[in-house]
């Protein structure tokens, strides 16, 4: 008998800012996003099963005009003050043009001082296009004091160049190759934006991606201008004994007046955004790594001396990443690899430095051979860091190292191609973490993040195609290449990509061409996953290429062998080296596709989109009984988890409707039984069980509603959580008890899985707020020997208002008040609380002596954390909106980049009821009308208002 799979397909939607689970079952947190997709029900056909995938990716255009934007630093001395900036102009991919001039060599000299820094740049300039007519040389610049400019050794006169708030323009440069020398004066001590060169906690540091280099010197600050750099740094030897930059250390020595210097040379071409400099008082952990060709690489992690003991895991992570990225893994590291990874990429220098800084806008930055990290993504000890911290360090250290090839050796031509370095590298770090842990659990975590923060953004005014800047969304598109071509075909494509483009700045089309050429294949409509036309107001979407991995499950719960499938009149025989095939990838290329499976002996239950083979939202005609069947039997563990999530989402939406109609809430006993069967299944991975029994987040449910109702969703989620805890109490208690351990902390999958299950069960139990459970949580808190279990117990206790909660929070702070990273966790836990009226507590914490508005990590923990509590941020009285509006304006004068991330929480204000819309809109209008507002915040706020 033949069975048909029919799918009417459509298109794909953009990006966002939304809410996720803090401890899954307990409360909420916020993240950001990936490619969104909506879905419609498929039509019923006899002897067939159907689904519809509506996959749309949208770009959001900058709208609105303004008269001025302030710069992102505190006011410099009067001599450098400039007129207000012109209104920012939106840049479109279609307007890209090659640079008129190329920079072949760049020699930088820094004289670091306590009040000012002098920067001298000497650049070898050549024409950008053969035979082109001489054009003005336009250089970017921001917050700079120009001291001199010379061409071929001759200082230019006033009429030969012009300077405005954004550019320095040389009117008539010489024909052919010439030398350009520019001297500028900057003020890192006043630079609170943490972009360009700034001073933080006594050390100098840089952050140049995306446009920070123009705050150091006048330059063609664009990724397609690649040059070889040397950098000489001069500074006081006592204050700044360590002087670091990219590449190899060529020379160092002492100078008069107690100063010293270091000369660095980077032998590889790079764009300006990868330049880095660090100077300060730092100690280092040193190790080495022998590459597959036998070269010895010195590895150093630099941090204040007192933090060196906390760098061991980061060093382990770096060595693991280096080994994994090479051709052969010989299992010399504590974790064995699940696979021998297939990139074959060897590190290309003799030195690799990582520097740890407490004040950093990003998590980390991949500057060539000199990675700079925010402290929380390097520093870890069992007493102060959770399993999540350890996993994040492993992934991010790997990610930044992997950039050495995917981003540094081959970089993006323009920022519209950002996914080519970020999406590709995220895919690589996902594979790395999967090989060192549990692949299914990692996939669930990545897809959850995609749905939690990306899908909602894609449905709002911040929607955009993957070209501009969606890391995980880009990773999903890269993953589709591997899905279609297989591991060996993907490797061939990567090899050809590096062979063709090493040392170049390239486009998504270049990557597509390498993949297809290496496999002698084409993927029709595939680039439309990246080149997305419409956004809100543009309903017509073109069909896109969607690979859908499918299996068929028989009535006994076993996979059916798939022998052949017919599509468009073509019969394809399915086999793998003569062995049966149980999963196949169907290629959806048109608006509607029909696939007919041959030799299917009974009506199957389809297992669709296995492993989440494409970043779409899938709506199917699978019945509730089908979903419970897959939850119990599907061999694809991702789809097993997904079946439970679909059931939970449907249940929650149904109960939300009941709540809104003031009906009595009743929990479906089949749902309870389904979760009980997962909880008690000893054959399943414990971390998978923890994921499978965790309810979808509030934001995910609100995103599925025509009008988001945070109060109803919060009430329903709490009801389900407490009902599950009540009906599964004995099983949950048994899981907590059986997963205790007196062994010393180890970071490996089995130990992490045990702790994850124990902590998830404890969170459920604590929601009951019963004396025996409170005593249990207090016992777990007091006896915990590691931060993972101690903090989880604290989070469980903090669910319920009262003296026990207050005492536990105070005890935790008193114990860890001298560790700023642990204190940030303490801020986040209180900020994300769903306790009614929590905005008052958060406002008080702004004045806490441990909080610092200039530290991005603390801002993200406290203010960002508050935005992740839907019931409080979206409080009906508007108190949450008012709080954020005031904080954004305060923060914008300190660090516009961080402020713009906070204001993004307003971006989907139209998703709520009229009362909330009016309150949120008022705050956005207040922000947009503020004097001296930065470009960063203005762009996000104005887009949100224009939606």
The DSSP bridge pattern shows strands 3-8 and 48-55 to be parallel
Yes or no: say if 45 and 2 are a contact pair by the CB < 8 Å rule.
no
Distance, in Å, from the CA atom of 622 to the CA atom of 612, rounded to the nearest integer, reads: 17
Distance, in Å, from the CA atom of 888 to the CA atom of 920, rounded to the nearest integer, reads: 13
Is residue 117 within a helix (H) or strand (E), and if so which, with residue range?
strand 117-127
Q: Token pair of 858, please?
A: 């603390």
Question: From the candidates 326, 366, 400, 780, which is the catalytic residue?
Answer: 400
Helix, strand, coil share (%) of the chain residues, nearest 5: 40, 20, 40
Yes or no: say if 305 and 233 are a contact pair by the CB < 8 Å rule.
no
Q: Phi and psi at residue 936, in whole multiples of 5°?
A: -55, -55
Distance, in Å, from the CA atom of 485 to the CA atom of 422, rounded to the nearest integer, reads: 21
Question: How does DSSP assign 872-900, residue by residue?
Answer: HHT-TTSHHHHHHHHHHHHHHTT-HHHHH
Residues 6+ apart with CB under 8 A from 650: 624
Q: Phi and psi at residue 595, in whole multiples of 5°?
A: -120, 130
Distance, in Å, from the CA atom of 462 to the CA atom of 613, rounded to the nearest integer, reads: 25
Q: Token pair of 423, please?
A: 């999406």
Distance, in Å, from the CA atom of 839 to the CA atom of 663, rounded to the nearest integer, reads: 30
Yes or no: say if 98 and 128 are a contact pair by the CB < 8 Å rule.
yes
Q: Phi and psi at residue 644, in whole multiples of 5°?
A: -65, -40
Is residue 481 within a helix (H) or strand (E), and if so which, with residue range?
helix 471-501
Residues 6+ apart with CB under 8 A from 39: 51, 52, 53, 54, 616, 617, 618, 619
**Which residue, chain included where needed, has tokens 């100078």?**
255
Yes or no: say if 776 and 765 are a contact pair by the CB < 8 Å rule.
yes
Distance, in Å, from the CA atom of 58 to the CA atom of 13, rounded to the nearest integer, reads: 5
Peptide bond into 700 cis (omega under 30): no
Residues 6+ apart with CB under 8 A from 944: 460, 461, 462, 903, 906, 907, 909, 924
Distance, in Å, from the CA atom of 320 to the CA atom of 325, rounded to the nearest integer, reads: 9
CA 633 to chain centroid, in Å, comes to 33
Helix (H, G, I), strand (E, B) or coil at 518: helix
Three-state DSSP string of 577-599? CCECECCEEEEECCCEEEEEECC
Is residue 495 within a helix (H) or strand (E), and if so which, with residue range?
helix 471-501
Helix (H, G, I), strand (E, B) or coil at 413: coil
Q: How far is CA 582 from CA 23, 276, 296, 490, 553, in A?
A: 35, 50, 45, 21, 9
Helix (H, G, I), strand (E, B) or coil at 242: strand
Yes or no: say if 241 and 118 are a contact pair by the CB < 8 Å rule.
no
Q: Token pair of 763, please?
A: 């969170």
Distance, in Å, from the CA atom of 348 to the CA atom of 343, rounded to the nearest integer, reads: 14
Is residue 787 within a helix (H) or strand (E), and if so which, with residue range?
helix 787-797
Respond yes or no: is residue 400 known to be catalytic: yes
Is residue 923 within a helix (H) or strand (E), and if so which, with residue range?
helix 914-928
For residue 404, which of 322, 286, 520 has the smallest C-alpha distance? 322
Distance, in Å, from the CA atom of 581 to the CA atom of 576, rounded to the nearest integer, reads: 6
With the CA atoms of 302, 308, 314 and 318 taken in that order, what torsion angle do they form, in degrees rounded to the nearest 10? 50
What are the catalytic residues? 400
């Amino acid at each position: 008998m033949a069975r048909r799979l029919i799918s009417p397909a459509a298109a794909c939607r953009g990006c966002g800012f939304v809410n996720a689970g803090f401890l899954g079952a307990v409360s909420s947190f916020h993240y950001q996003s990936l490619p969104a997709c909506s879905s419609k029900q498929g039509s019923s056909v006899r002897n067939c099963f159907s689904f519809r995938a509506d996959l749309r990716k949208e770009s959001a255009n900058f709208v609105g005009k303004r008269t001025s934007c302030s710069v992102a630093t505190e006011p410099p001395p009067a001599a450098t003050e400039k007129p207000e900036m012109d209104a920012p102009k939106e840049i479109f991919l279609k307007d890209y043009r090659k640079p008129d001039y190329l920079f072949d060599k760049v020699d930088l000299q820094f004289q670091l001082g306590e009040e000012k820094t002098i920067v001298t740049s000497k650049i070898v300039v050549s024409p950008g296009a053969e035979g082109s007519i001489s054009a003005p040389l336009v250089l970017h610049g921001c917050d700079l004091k120009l001291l001199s400019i010379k061409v071929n050794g001759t200082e230019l006169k006033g009429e030969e160049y012009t300077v405005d708030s954004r550019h320095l323009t040389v009117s008539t440069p010489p024909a052919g190759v010439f030398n350009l020398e520019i001297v500028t004066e900057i003020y890192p001590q006043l630079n609170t934006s943490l972009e360009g060169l700034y001073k933080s906690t006594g050390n100098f540091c840089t952050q140049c991606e995306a446009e920070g280099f123009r705050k150091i010197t006048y330059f063609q600050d664009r990724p397609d201008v690649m040059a070889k750099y040397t950098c000489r740094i001069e500074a006081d030897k006592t204050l700044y004994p360590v002087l670091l930059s990219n590449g190899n250390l060529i020379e160092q020595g002492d100078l008069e007046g107690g100063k010293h210097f270091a000369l660095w040379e980077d032998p590889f071409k790079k764009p300006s955004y990868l330049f880095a400099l660090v100077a300060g008082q730092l100690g280092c952990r040193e190790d080495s790594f022998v590459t597959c060709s036998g070269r010895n690489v010195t590895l150093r992690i630099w941090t204040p001396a007192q933090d060196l003991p906390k760098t061991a895991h980061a060093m382990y992570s770096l060595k693991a990443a280096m080994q994994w990225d090479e051709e052969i893994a010989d299992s010399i590291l504590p974790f064995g690899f699940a696979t021998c990874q297939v990139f074959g990429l060897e590190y290309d220098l003799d030195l690799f430095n990582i520097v740890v800084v407490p004040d950093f806008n990003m998590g980390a930055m991949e500057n060539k051979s000199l990675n700079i990290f925010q402290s929380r993504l390097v520093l870890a000890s069992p007493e102060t860091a959770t399993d999540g911290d350890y996993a994040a360090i492993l992934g991010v250290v790997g990610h930044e190292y992997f950039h050495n090839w995917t981003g540094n050796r081959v970089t993006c031509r323009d920022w519209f191609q950002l996914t080519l370095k970020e999406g590709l590298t995220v895919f690589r770090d996902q594979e790395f973490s999967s090989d060192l842990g549990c692949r299914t659990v990692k996939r669930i975590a990545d897809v959850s993040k995609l749905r939690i923060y990306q899908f909602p953004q894609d449905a709002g005014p911040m929607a955009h195609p993957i070209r501009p800047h969606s890391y995980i969304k880009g990773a999903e598109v890269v993953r589709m290449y591997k899905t279609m071509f297989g591991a060996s075909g993907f490797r061939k494509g990567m090899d050809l990509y590096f062979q063709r483009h090493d040392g170049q700045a390239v486009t998504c089309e270049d990557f597509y061409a390498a993949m297809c050429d290496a496999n002698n294949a084409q993927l029709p409509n595939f680039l439309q996953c990246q080149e997305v036309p419409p956004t809100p107001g543009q309903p017509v979407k073109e069909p896109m290429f969607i690979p859908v991995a499918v299996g068929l499950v028989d009535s006994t719960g076993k996979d059916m062998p798939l022998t052949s499938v017919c599509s468009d009149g073509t019969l394809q025989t399915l086999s793998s080296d003569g062995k049966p095939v149980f999963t196949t990838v169907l290629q959806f290329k048109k608006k509607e596709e029909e696939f007919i499976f041959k030799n299917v002996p009974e009506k199957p239950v389809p297992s669709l989109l296995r492993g989440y083979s494409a970043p779409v939202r899938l709506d199917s005609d699978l019945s509730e009984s089908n979903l419970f069947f897959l939850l119990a039997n599907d061999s694809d563990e991702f789809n097993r988890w997904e079946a439970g999530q679909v059931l939970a989402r449907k249940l929650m939406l149904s109960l939300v409707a009941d709540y809104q109609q003031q009906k009595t809430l009743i929990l479906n006993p089949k749902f309870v039984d389904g979760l009980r069967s997962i909880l008690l299944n000893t054959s399943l991975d414990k971390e998978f069980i923890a994921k499978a029994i965790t309810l979808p987040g509030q934001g995910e449910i609100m995103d599925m509603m025509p009008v988001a109702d945070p109060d109803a969703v919060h009430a329903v989620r709490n009801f389900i959580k407490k009902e599950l805890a009540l009906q599964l109490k004995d099983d949950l208690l048994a899981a907590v008890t059986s997963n205790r351990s007196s062994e010393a902390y180890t970071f490996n999958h089995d130990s992490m899985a045990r702790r994850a299950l124990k902590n998830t069960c404890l969170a459920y139990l604590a929601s009951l707020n019963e004396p025996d459970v409170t005593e249990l949580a207090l016992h777990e808190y007091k006896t915990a020997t590691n931060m993972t279990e101690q903090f989880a117990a604290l989070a469980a206790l903090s669910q319920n208002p009262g003296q026990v909660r207050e005492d536990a929070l105070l005890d935790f702070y008193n114990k860890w008040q001298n560790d700023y990273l642990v204190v940030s966790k303490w801020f986040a836990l209180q900020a994300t609380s769903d306790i009614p009226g929590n905005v008052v507590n958060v406002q008080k914490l702004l004045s806490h002596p441990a909080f610092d508005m200039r530290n991005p990590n603390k801002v993200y923990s406290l203010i960002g954390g508050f935005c992740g509590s839907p019931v409080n941020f979206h409080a009906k009285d508007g108190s949450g909106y008012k709080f954020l509006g005031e904080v954004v304006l305060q923060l914008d004068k300190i660090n516009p980049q961080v402020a713009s991330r906070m204001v993004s929480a307003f971006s989907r204000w139209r998703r709520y009821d009229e009362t909330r819309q009016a309150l949120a809109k008022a705050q956005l209008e207040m922000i947009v009308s503020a004097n001296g507002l930065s470009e960063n915040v203005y762009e996000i706020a104005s887009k949100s208002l224009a939606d």
